[in-house]
Amino acid sequence: MNLHALRLFTKVAELNSVSKAAQTLMISQPAVTIQIRNLEKELGLTLLEAKGRGISLTQNGTFLYKQAQRLFDLETDIENKVEQLKNTGNEELQIASTHVPSHFLLPKWLAQFKQVYPATHIHLKTANSQQVIEDLLHYKADLAFIVKEDGHHADINYQFLMNLDYWFIVPYNHHLAGQTVSLVELMQQPFVTREDGSSTKEYLNALCKVHKIPPPKVGLQLDGINESIHAIAAGFGTMLAPSIAASSFILQQQVARVFIKDIDIQRPIYLCTRKNELHHSTSFNNFLHIINESII
């Protein structure tokens, strides 16, 4: 495959315009058009089609654009890692994680790792599950940690680490505090929910769907676990929270559990890596060893 033509096509797809791509790349518009036509001929696929006065991607074009993005993200990742080795002689480990592993598990594992391998530079990015998987697929992370039951991506390996208990919590003086109620009764309360892309929000909606009841009323939407629990502790709403995050608030009598008849929730934590990636850095393997030792 002609990688130069693929790069031109990717810029056209990114800007949704041949002329804008040509201007950005400082080459003529006919040159860009010829390269893309040659790429289509080489692949035997139509990548672009006319749409009004502009162009749009065909289904095949959309597929190729997404794959090409990953390819050029890999190129950038390699360049960054080489530059890091040239400048410091040390490896860098990029980690993406959803909020629960990032806040309550990774600090301990990273501290153990840095005590043994102090020279390795670590960068941890915290985001929701959708963003974390995108970062891993596009080589913006070397490994990732998520809490998610299903909807696993075909290009990702998922290594199960552990299950975590999840609890429904309310303010400590709430009238449902310590009570056992039905799911439908609890869903009448205003909920503190996470942003779109959060696996906890997806799980809660799926739980309601399975039990054939409407999803909860969203009283407040926040982007993080700690922010959400603090809102509950301040006296507002209900939420589904990991026990590892909520337990200290319960001990301090700031929030309380609500028990649901015949429902106990456990959610899995996975370590995620890209499929078909046969070789990993020494830092990656050393960090994985420390994690496995910690959870045995």
- Per-residue pLDDT tens digits for 123-174: 999 998 889 999 999 888 999 999 988 878 889 999 999 999 999 999 999 9
pLDDT of residue 34 exceeding 80 = yes
pTM for the whole structure: 0.70
pLDDT of residue 88 exceeding 70 = no
The packing angle between helices 59-88 and 3-15, to 10°, is 110
pLDDT for res 166: 96
Q: What's the chain's average pLDDT?
A: 89
pLDDT of residue 30 exceeding 90 = no
Average pLDDT over residues 64-88: 75
Average pLDDT over residues 76-92: 68
pLDDT of residue 296 exceeding 70 = no
User: pLDDT digits over 102-126, tens only?
Assistant: 999 999 999 999 999 998 889 999 9
Instruction: Determine phi and psi for 117, rounding to 5 degrees.
Output: -125, 70
Q: Among 40-54, 124-138, 178-192, 240-254, which stretch is predicted with the lowest mean pLDDT?
A: 40-54
Element holding 127 (H helix, E strand): none
The packing angle between helices 18-25 and 29-43, to 10°, is 110
pLDDT of residue 89 exceeding 60 = no
> What confidence category does residue 86 fall into, taking pLDDT thresholds of 50, 70 and 90?
low
> What confidence category does residue 90 fall into, taking pLDDT thresholds of 50, 70 and 90?
low
pLDDT for res 85: 64
- Count of beta carbons in the 10 Å neighbourhood of residue 39: 21
- Answer for the pair 119, 90: CB distance below 8 angstroms, yes or no: yes
Q: Among 1-15, 64-78, 95-109, 111-125, which stretch is predicted with the lowest mean pLDDT?
A: 64-78
pLDDT of residue 189 exceeding 90 = yes
Instruction: Determine phi and psi for 148, rounding to 5 degrees.
Output: -165, 130
pLDDT for res 194: 83
